[in-house]
Structure 1
Amino acid sequence: MKQFPICALFGCYVLLVLTQLSCADTKSPKWAATSVEEASPDFQIQGEYSGILGEGSDDPLKYGVQVIALGEGAFQAVGYPGGLPGDGWNQEKKVTVDSKKNGTVISFQSEDGRGDLEDGKITIFDAEGNKVGVLNKVERKSPTLGKQAPEGATVLFDSNQAEKTVKNFKNGRITEDGLLKEGVTSNKTFKDGHLHLEFQLPFMPQARGQGRSNSGCYVLGRYEVQILDSFGLEGKDNECGGIYKLGAPSVNMCLPPLAWQTYDIDFQSAKYDTDGNKTAKARITVKHNGVTVQDDREIDEPTPGGTNKDEAMAGPLFLQDHSNPVRFRNIWVIEK
């Protein structure tokens, strides 16, 4: 058996430890938790809160708040009069306030009043300091989460049969718990149909913008429905539910990271006559977590970064690798 110098072994050990410390650096924008167990304590605070302000009065108001973890005990709260997005908010006024954890309480102060977050609830006070209501933490789920593939559908990936169905993708890779990793292209191609896709965004509190849980669902390999941790953001074309560079979602339905989310997408290829002239543009309808965010939108041209630009061809499902550990499960297509 070959003997290795003790200094060489020690050097390898030090390198291994430094590598592990680097990967576990929660202050790095690239740090990502793919499970609740890996996430920092701030993850338990982040989320959605909902309740009634002025309950029992002549003018009660349903109110929702999304609390976003920004790393190192910092948070941002976005308040929605009428209720959370997709649950009553009228998409007009909203209130955005930053704060930092101080002991066990996080106080969000605005000109309209104050919200104190503690023990899984937000107590709301008006500008004069009077208590007007309590918002409790809620966990919303998509109504199509876990929807099984109907008869005749093409199952592209099933986490219950991960080893088998991962073979339906080029570069298919799975995690130890049977989830599909990003950066894959389906072997099968399609023209018109309905796609069901379930995805999970990692928790990346230090990251911002396009660096926060970025991937993309390229329908037909050429039209990107953006995947991004845009929880609590404005809802732009380069955020979750947007057709990248072509159209913003009608409402930002992104749930907090590590929650399982759904895309249900109806897609129609561009049409051509026998002479090769385009007679109709491609069209896409997107439901994000059960809410229509793109309604029969015409697509003028393919999104950059896809697998092909020839709109006359059938195309695959391409799930983009943008260096963030986005996970997928329960993917199927009904061809029309």
Structure 2
Amino acid sequence: MMTKPILMALCVLAAAPAFAQAQGETQRDPAKTEVWKPIPVAVATPRDAAPSDAVVLFDGKDLSAWESEQGGKAPWSVADGAFTVVPGSKGIRTKQRFCDIQLHIEWRSPAETRGFSGQNRGNSGVFLQEIYELQVLDSYDNATYPNGQAASIYKQAIPLVNASRAPGQWQTYDVIWKAPRFSEGGGLASPARITVLHNGVLVQNDTVLSGKTEYIGAPSYSPHGCAPIYLQDHDAKVSFRNVWVREL
């Protein structure tokens, strides 16, 4: 009588040629590994303009997509295709709320640096969902604590390198933001994550955030939904232009 192990082995040996034949057919026929659906949506990418599927948050003309953090019209100045912080006027935020996004934003610190240093030189911030800060600072030949320099996740993550340009020059942040997720009970299901290119250089590589930005104390999470992008008034005349997002 043939034992069960021997019978199974014979079945495997019998199936092997058929499997090898099928595998050989796949290797010989490229169509076997072609996937035709879903078809990616076509997105136009004009030179020096936002992608066709982007939400343009500043078109060089007005701040109609923004409002004051206190409510009402955004109080910052607009001129020459850019908008600039009016010190003492408070921050501004988008009227639209966002979760996962690709963000493009260009910024420029004041050219005049005499008498200013550290955190007092060209300070502002890009806050994702209003509470997670990507630092804006003139960090060109300007010493400060590294987790507070330009392209840091403020008080949490030091940038991989300092890609800052000289004061008065336009700089770019390209950001991939993955919003945190919370359970129905309010617990943290997955933390926020961010990737940042500063002037085309990778400075935050899928960085995991420990919670909302805190000036004093450790960061922590509390449940929230989609929220505006917020730009900070930190008493410096920082300018911004070419701001757009793609919802992911």
User: Do Structure 1 and Structure 2 share a fold, with TM-score over 0.5?
Assistant: yes
> What is residue 259 of structure 1 aligned with on the other side?
169
Q: Which residue of 2 aligns with 1:179?
A: 82
Deviations 1:131-172 (A, max 9, x none): xxxxxxxxxxxxxxx84211111100121xx13xx1110132
Verify: 1:167 aligned to 2:64, yes or no: yes
For residues 1-336 of structure 1, what are the structure 2 equivalents within 5 Å? 147-159=48-60, 162-163=61-62, 166-171=63-68, 172=74, 173-182=76-85, 183-203=91-111, 204-233=113-142, 236-304=146-214, 310-336=222-248
1:263 and 1:202 map into 2 onto residues whose CA distance is 17
CA contact (8 A) 2:147 2:154 kept: yes
The 1-side partners of 2:204 and 2:107 are apart by: 18
The code of the aligned residue for 2:244 comes to W
Identical-pair percentage? 36
Q: d(CA) in 2 for partners of 1:311 and 1:261?
A: 33
Instruction: Give per-residue Cα distances to partners, 1:246-296, cap 9 Å, x unaligned.
Output: 011000001001111000000011112333321110000111000010000
Higher relative contact order (CA 8 A, sep 6+): 2
Q: Deviations over 1:280-327 (max 9, x none)?
A: 10000111000010000001110137xxx7543101111100010000
Distance 2:198 2:79 in 1: 27
Q: Decide whether aligned partners of structure 1 residues 311 and 196 sit closer, same or farther in structure 2, where only a CA change above 3 A counts.
A: farther
Task: Verify the 8 A CA contact 1:233 1:252 in the aligned structure 2.
Answer: no
Alignment TM-score, normalising by the size of structure 1: 0.52
The 3 A distance-change label for structure 1 pair 311 and 197 is: farther
Aligned to 1:4: none
Residues 47-90 of structure 1, C-alpha deviations (whole Å, 9 max, x = no match) = xxxxxxxxxxxxxxxxxxxxxxxxxxxxxxxxxxxxxxxxxxxx
Instruction: Give 1:335 deviation, angstroms.
Output: 0.3
Tell me if the contact between 1:189 and 1:316 (Cα under 8 Å) persists in the aligned partners: yes
- Return 5+ residue gaps in structure 1 as ranges: 1-145
Q: Any conservation in 1 of the 2:182–2:223 contact (CA below 8 Å)?
A: no
Please tell me the root mean square deviation across aligned C-alpha atoms, in Å.
1.8
Using the alignment, how far apart are the partners of 1:176 and 1:189 within structure 2?
26
Structure 1's consecutive aligned runs of 4 or more residues displaced over 6 angstroms after TM superposition are none
Matched residue of 2:53: which SS? coil
Query: How many Å apart are 1:228 and its aligned residue?
Result: 0.6
Contact 2:118 2:142 in 1 (8 A): no
Aligned to 1:128: none
Tell me the distance in 1 between the aligned counterparts of 2:180 and 2:48: 28
Compute the TM-score of the two structures, normalised by the length of structure 2: 0.70
Name the structure 2 match of 1:44.
none
Larger radius of gyration: 2
Identify the residue that residue 14 of structure 1 maps to in structure 2. none
> Which one-letter code corresponds to 2:188 in the other structure?
K
The secondary structure found in structure 2 opposite 1:237 is helix
Q: Tell me what 1:68 maps to.
A: none
Q: Which amino acid aligns with 1:193?
A: I
Q: Matches of 1:219 and 1:274 in 2, distance apart?
A: 22
Structure with higher strand content: 1
User: 8 Å contact 1:269–1:311 — kept in the other structure?
Assistant: no
2:222 & 2:49 partners in 1: Cα distance? Answer: 32
Residue identity matched to 1:191: C
Q: CA deviation at 1:179?
A: 1.7
SS at the partner of 1:322?
A: coil
Asked if the contact 2:186–2:222 (Cα under 8 Å) also holds between the matched residues in 1, the reply is no
Partners of 1:150 and 1:196 in 2: CA distance = 11
Residue 148 of structure 2 aligns to a residue whose secondary structure is coil
Tell me the distance in 2 between the aligned counterparts of 1:331 and 1:207. Answer: 27
